Structure 1
C-alpha cells in the first residue's frame, strides 16, 4: 500500500475550546504527533464547543471560587459558553532527513469567538461580587501556534517523535476586556510521542505534552504548568486510506499559578472522542470530522466539542517517486 502523506487532522480547533492555558488534550488524532511525509497540507476547519464551568469538586456550578488577593471569594457566572472557531493551517513535510529523522513544520493562525478559557480569565479577574454574564458574540484573531521542531524516527513497528511548538499571543488581549481573542502570554509545548503498529491496519500511540507559560501581558499573573497525556488508536478501512479512530487524554496542572491576579486553584480535565476521515480525491483532498467529550473536569470549563474540515494535500514528489511505507 502506498501513501504520499498522512491525512492530518491536527484539529487544534479543540485547543480553542475548553481549558486554562493554550494546549488541550485530544487536539491531535493518534497519528498526528509524527512528522508527515514530503508535501504541503492546507487544512481548513470549523469547530463548535458547548462548555460549562465545573468547580474544584468536579461539579457543574454557577459559583466561581476565586481566592486571588483583592478579588471576591465567589462570583455568580453565566454557566454556558458556546464558541465557534475557524482555522486555516499550513503544514510542511520536509525533504531528506534531520538527525536521521523525518521532519516537518506547521503554523496555525486562529479566528474564533471568545473561548471558554478566555471566559474563565474574564470571570477570574472581576473585582466585585455579583453576577457576570459572558455574552460576547464577536469573532476575532486568536493566538497563533507555531511548531518549528517536528521530528520522528521509525524502527520496525515502532515510531518515535519529538515536537516543540509555541503559542504566540497574536490575539487581542487587554485585562478585564470582554472582547479578548487571546490570552496575552506565550506558551511553550514540549512533546514526545510513541507509536506502535501491531498490524498493517492498526496504529496505537501515546504522547505526553508539557506546557510552560510565561507572564501575562499587563497583569501580575503567570499560569501554572500543565502536563497532558494523550493516547489513542486508529484503524485503516481500505487501500484508499480512509480511517476511523478513538482517542483520549488527561490533563493536570502540576505547578501553582504565580502573581496576584487570576484563579489560584489547580485544575484538571480528561476527555474521550473519535474521528473519521474520508478521501474525496485519494491523497489529494480529504474530509475529516471529530467529536470530543470531557469528564473529570475541575476548576475549568468542560463539555463537548465538534470539528469538521477539509484537507488539501500538495505532494512535493512526482508520482513516479512515491515510496511505500
Structure 2
C-alpha cells in the first residue's frame, strides 16, 4: 500500500490564492510532504479561487483598516476577488539515499492572474482616501517555488520528512502597481512532517511549516513570519493507486511586519478540503481534483479554491 501511495505524488497548489506571504495551508495533499519514488513527475494544473476580504473581527467587509504611517485610516475596497492560475511542475525523485533518507526536488513556475493577496498588497499601499477597485484581468508569470531539500525516512508504519523550499520573486513587481504578478520578496519555507498508517489502506499525516520573508524590493516593508499546521488523511481505493483524502490547515502570523509600508495587522486563517485521484494509465497518467473551503479568516482574503489537473509519471528504472 505504501508503494502505491508514495508513487502518486499529488501536489495540487493554489499558492498565494488568499494568504499573506507565499505559502498557503492545504497546498499539498497529505502524502506530498514525503519524497517520491525515483523518477520524474510532471503535474499540470488549473486553479480557480473566489475570495472575499475578512476584517480583524473575522467578518466580510468592504473596509480595509490600515494604520500604517502615511496611509489613510481605512479604504473602501472591492470585496470580491476571483483569480486564475496555471501551474506546471517538475518533480524529481532521486535514486539511492541521502543520510539514509529517500530524497527528491521540485520546481514550480506559476502563470496566474494577480491574486487576492496581491490585491490586498495593492489596497494597503494606497495613500489617499476613497474607493479602490481591483479590476486587473491580466495573466503573467508569478513567483517561483523551488524545493531543493526533500528528505523522508520510513520505519514500519511511520514516516518522517524534512523539507526546505524558497519562493523566488520571479513575478513582475513594482510598488503600488495593479499589474503585479508577484510579491517582490523572497520567502523561505522550513517544514517537518510525520505520517502513520493506523489501518490497512489508511494514512494520516501532520506537517508544520514556518515561512520567513525578506524585505520587499523597492519598499520599506517586510512581511511577518507565519506558522502553518496541516493535518490530513487518505484512503486507498484500489491496488492501482486510486485514492480519496481530506485535509485541513491553520495559519497564523507569528511575528510583526517591519518597515513603514504595508498593512501592519496580524492575520490568521483556517481551512478544510478534500481530493480524489484516478489513474488513467496506472502509475503513468493520472487525474486529480480538489476543493478547499476557508474559514476563521482575519485580515485576509478567504473563500473557496478549486483545482483540477493531470499528473504524468516517468519512472526511473
Specify the TM-score bucket, using the shorter chain as the normaliser.
over 0.9
Structure 1 CA distance, aligned partners of 2:216 and 2:200?
A: 47
- How much has 1:15 moved relative to structure 2? 1.1
2:122 is paired with a residue of what secondary structure? helix
Aligned to 1:122, what secondary structure does the other structure show?
helix
Contact kept in structure 2, 1:4 and 1:283, CA below 8 Å: no
1: CA distance, partners of 2:108 / 2:118: 19
2 CA distance for matches of 1:159 and 1:291?
26
| Alpha-carbon distance, 1:7 to partner | 1.6
Which shows bigger deviation, 15-24 or 241-250? 15-24
Distance 2:252 2:228 in 1: 6
Aligned twin of 1:24? 24
Instruction: Spell out, residue by residue over 1:69-125, the C-alpha distance to the aligned partner (whole angstroms, 9 max, x if none).
Output: 000010000010000000110000000000000000000000000000000000000
The structure-2 alpha-carbon separation of the partners of 1:4 and 1:51, relative to structure 1 and needing over 3 Å to count, comes to closer
Specify the alignment match of 2:315 in structure 1. Answer: 315
- Aligned runs of 1:1-325 on 2, under 5 Å? 3=4, 6-12=7-13, 14-317=14-317
Deviations 1:131-160 (A, max 9, x none): 000000000000000000000000111000
Once the two structures are superposed, what CA deviation does each residue of 1:243-300 show, in whole Å capped at 9, x if it has no partner?
0000000000000000000001100000000000000000000000000000000001
C-alpha separation in 2, matches of 1:282 and 1:230: 28
With normalisation by structure 2, the TM-score equals 0.98
SS at match of 1:120: helix
Q: Per-residue CA shift, 1:178-200, capped at 9, x if unaligned? A: 00000000000000000001123
How far apart, CA to CA, are the structure 1 residues paired with 2:147 and 2:45? 18
Distance 1:221 1:143, change over 3 A: same
- Gapped runs of 5+ residues in structure 2? none
Give aligned pairs, total: 316
CA shift for structure 1 position 315: 0.3
Partner of 1:320: none
For the 8 Å contact 1:16–1:85, the answer to whether it is kept is no
Q: Is the 8 A contact 2:48 2:85 kept in 1?
A: yes
Identify which range, 179-188 or 2-11, moves more after superposition: 2-11
Shift of the alpha carbon at 1:8? 1.9
With normalisation by structure 1, the TM-score equals: 0.96
Distance in 1, matches of 2:271 and 2:252, equals: 12
